[in-house]
């Protein structure tokens, strides 16, 4: 693994405070690989062999059942995913695939569990990471169960706007069908919902969005840290 990559991973909250020897132990058996788009990194149901750390690109976490599919989250650098399955040595509950060309570090689950049992600082960091992930899914579930599709879309646009430094215009971060699936609707419906939001100052051209009336959107989505962080 390149030392620049190591630095980057090392600087993550998850690894920042652990003993240097333990970090070396973790990364010794690790791979760091580049993947083209649309590669399946993880398929749900398989045993959790590796903790994944995305260092570049974007990865979709999704789930399948009975021929249907829904995206649960989109992970961006630099962060980890499917830590819970690794720690519990349990089968993955979600699949993962690259959305764009991406680089991912793979840390063997056995090493992870071994170091985790010996390094208190690392254990603490894992707890924080897990607690954060947990709260993320809770927010997602609340979002799905409490808001209707128009409200979810408005909330999503607000969140994206803030991710881009509250700039009034910005680009959608990935394909609309992914956004639709993440928001729990069909692509057709997302299209219609976007059109419907034109009355609220939202204009769309391809992937670029313009929010003319931020407050109006807020009145629809009523964003708050209990659901939108």
Partner DNA sequence: CGAACCCTTGACTCCGCTCAACCACGGTGG
Partner DNA sequence: CCACCGTGGTTGAGCGGAGTCAAGGGTTCG
Binding site for DNA (CB under 7 A): 148-150, 175-177, 184-195, 204
Question: Least distance in Å: CB of 202 to DNA?
Answer: 11
Q: Which of 13, 29, 47, 91 binds its own copies (CB under 8 A)?
A: 91
Which helix (H) or strand (E) is 207 found in, with range? none
| Distance (Å, whole) CA 60 – CA 67 | 18
Residue 178's Cβ-side half-sphere holds a number of Cα atoms within 13 Å equal to: 20
100 vs 131 by CB, closer to its own copies: 131
DSSP 103: E
Omega before 78 within 30 of 0, i.e. cis: yes
Q: Which of 21, 132, 198, 212 binds its own copies (CB under 8 A)?
A: 132
Contacts of 46 (CB under 8 A, 6+ apart): 91, 92
Question: What would the two tokens of residue 124 be?
Answer: 């603490």
Q: Which of 12, 78, 172, 227 binds its own copies (CB under 8 A)?
A: 227
- Residue 133 binding: pick among DNA, its own copies, none (C-beta 5-8 Å cut-off by kind): its own copies
193 vs 209 by CB, closer to its own copies: 193
72 to 81, 102, 149: CA distances (angstroms): 12, 19, 16
CB atoms within 10 A of CB 80: 21
User: x/- binding map, residues 145-184, to its own copies, per CB under 8 A?
Assistant: xxx------------------------------------x
| Distance (Å, whole) CA 165 – CA 104 | 27
21 part of the interface to its own copies, by CB under 8 A: no
Question: Least distance in Å: CB of 68 to DNA?
Answer: 8
| Distance (Å, whole) CA 17 – CA 20 | 9
Question: Least distance in Å: CB of 15 to its own copies?
Answer: 15
- Residue 135 binding: pick among its own copies, DNA, none (C-beta 5-8 Å cut-off by kind): its own copies
Contacts of 21 (CB under 8 A, 6+ apart): none
Interaction site with its own copies (CB under 8 A): 44-45, 63-66, 68-70, 72, 83-85, 87-88, 90-91, 93-94, 116-117, 120, 123-124, 126-128, 130-135, 137-142, 144-147, 184, 222, 224-227
């Amino acid at each position: 693994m390149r030392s620049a990559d190591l630095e980057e991973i090392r600087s993550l909250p998850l690894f920042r405070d652990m003993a240097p020897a333990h970090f070396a132990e973790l990364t010794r058996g690790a791979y760091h690989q580049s993947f083209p788009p649309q590669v399946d990194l993880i398929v749900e149901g398989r045993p959790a062999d590796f903790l994944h750390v995305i260092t570049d690109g974007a990865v979709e976490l999704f789930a399948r059942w009975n021929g249907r599919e829904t995206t649960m989250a989109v992970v961006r650098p630099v962060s980890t995913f499917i830590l819970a399955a690794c720690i519990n040595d349990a089968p993955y509950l979600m699949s993962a695939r690259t959305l764009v060309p991406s680089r991912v570090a793979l840390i063997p689950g056995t090493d992870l569990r071994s170091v985790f049992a010996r390094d208190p600082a690392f254990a603490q960091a894992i707890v924080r990471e897990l607690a954060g992930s947990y709260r993320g899914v809770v927010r997602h579930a609340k979002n799905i169960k409490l808001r209707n599709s128009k409200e979810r879309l408005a909330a999503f646009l607000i969140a994206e706007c803030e991710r881009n430094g509250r700039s009034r215009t910005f680009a959608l971060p990935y394909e609309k069908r992914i956004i639709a699936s993440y928001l729990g609707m069909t692509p057709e419906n997302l299209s219609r919902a976007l059109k419907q939001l034109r009355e609220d100052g939202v204009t769309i051209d391809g992937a670029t969005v313009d929010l003319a009336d931020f407050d109006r959107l807020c009145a629809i989505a009523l964003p708050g840290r209990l659901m939108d962080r």
